[in-house]
């Protein structure tokens, strides 16, 4: 495993995007989004995907030059057409618009349609938390998950995240998809030729399997806690594509962002910002959250448990260590970055041992 400083990795991604044809503004937003996600230790949704994003743009499934446009708007809501631009670009604009509206109205919701993979939902929720607001982010995705009683892919494993300002760490936040495991982990096991837990996927007959060799052409991801993950995935679908009259996973209109590079992804994202001042008066949401989190951390621990974490605490600790020592880059992520370096004649900013 190699290490890279966050600023240097951001600059590397920025330059790759510029050379691919993105504007300075869009390259900056995308590079910062992916690098911060990497610093949290969320390697599956960080810089690893940048090469594929650029390939998708080159093959016509997305655009490095398109700009999001507002197509419907009220004082507390908006719908943005991403025009198939990079998902990080349309998503940052969507959450920033929700934040600005919520500062006045108390709560605001912005939905982005005709977009593509936006990386980690938690990044956008944290955009709100940085400004003292509560942030919620979600997206529908292509159908990759089954549901209780089905023997096929039926619905997307739609990611959902929230973030709340805090004190000990910048925010309390959670970022999850509605499947028991991310599909990329199944693919990774498939490529390594290893077995997987029976709780990850079903086979073509609808039965749990430990063999990932036929995924994703056959089989599907299992929902988180079965009917609970299924129900939450439906909620995300309603609040993203369905509420805006856009495609949803059940109709088959959303292709895979990473397997169908030449096809527009057509996913929808929704961003909700809540202004705590409108509810608390003179109180501090960060102080209240910290007091609550402190009580959770100080609960009596089970045998062999050294510490109780609050949501997002591990990610922020990864981030702090990365700021000091550099971001640890796993081998599979480094391989994707080297593809970018070769393609655009760049030097990968690896720290000396």
Q: What is the pLDDT tens value at each position of the chain, 353 positions in all?
A: 899 999 999 999 999 999 999 999 999 999 999 999 999 999 999 999 999 999 999 999 999 999 999 999 999 999 999 999 999 999 999 999 999 999 999 999 999 999 999 999 999 999 999 999 999 999 999 999 999 999 999 999 999 999 999 999 999 999 999 999 988 889 889 999 999 999 999 999 999 999 999 999 999 999 999 999 999 999 999 999 999 999 999 999 999 999 999 999 999 999 999 999 999 988 899 999 999 999 999 999 999 999 999 999 999 999 999 999 999 999 999 999 999 999 999 999 999 87
* Among candidate residues 125, 170, 171, 167, the one with its CA nearest the CA of residue 287: 167
Predicted confidence at residue 352, as pLDDT, reads: 85
The number of residues making up the chain comes to 353
* Among candidate residues 118, 156, 128, the one with its CA nearest the CA of residue 255: 156
Predicted confidence at residue 183, as pLDDT, reads: 87
5 near 39, Cβ under 8 Å? no
| 226-235 long-range Cβ contacts below 8 angstroms, 24+ apart | 226/148, 227/148, 229/145, 229/157, 229/178, 229/179, 229/180, 230/147, 230/148, 230/155, 230/178, 232/158, 232/160, 232/178, 233/145, 233/155, 233/156, 233/157, 233/158, 233/178, 234/155
């Amino acid at each position: 495993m190699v290490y890279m400083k966050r600023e240097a990795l951001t600059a590397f991604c920025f330059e790759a995007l510029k050379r691919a044809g993105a504007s300075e503004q869009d390259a900056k937003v995308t590079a910062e989004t992916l690098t911060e996600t990497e610093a949290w230790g969320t390697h599956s949704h960080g810089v690893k995907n940048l090469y594929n994003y650029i390939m998708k743009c080159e093959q016509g499934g997305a655009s490095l030059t398109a700009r999001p446009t507002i197509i419907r708007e009220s004082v507390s809501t908006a719908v943005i057409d991403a025009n198939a631009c990079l998902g990080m670009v349309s998503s940052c604009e969507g959450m920033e618009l929700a934040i600005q509206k919520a500062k006045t109205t108390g709560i605001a919701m912005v939905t982005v349609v005709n977009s593509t993979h936006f990386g980690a939902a938690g990044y956008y929720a944290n955009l709100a938390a940085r400004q003292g607001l509560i942030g919620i982010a979600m997206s529908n995705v292509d159908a990759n998950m089954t549901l209780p009683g089905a023997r096929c892919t039926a619905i997307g494993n739609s990611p959902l995240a929230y973030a709340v300002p805090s004190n000990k760490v910048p925010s309390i936040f959670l970022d999850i998809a509605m499947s028991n495991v991310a599909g990329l982990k199944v693919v990774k096991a498939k490529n390594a030729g290893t077995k997987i837990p029976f709780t990850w996927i079903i086979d073509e007959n609808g039965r749990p399997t430990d063999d990932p060799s036929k995924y994703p052409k056959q089989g599907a991801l299992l929902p988180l806690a079965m009917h609970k993950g299924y129900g939450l995935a439906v909620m995300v679908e309603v609040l993203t594509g369905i509420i805006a009259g856009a495609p949803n996973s059940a109709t088959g209109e959303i292709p895979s962002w990473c397997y169908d590079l030449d096809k527009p992804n057509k996913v929808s994202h929704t961003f909700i910002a809540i202004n705590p001042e409108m509810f608390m008066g003179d109180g501090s949401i960060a102080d209240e959250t910290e007091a609550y989190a402190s009580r959770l951390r100080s609960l009596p621990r089970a045998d062999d448990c050294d510490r109780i974490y609050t949501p997002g605490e591990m990610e922020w600790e990864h981030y702090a260590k990365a700021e000091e020592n550099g971001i640890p880059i796993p081998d599979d992520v480094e391989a994707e970055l080297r593809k970018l370096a070769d393609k655009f004649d760049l030097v990968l900013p690896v720290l000396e041992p």
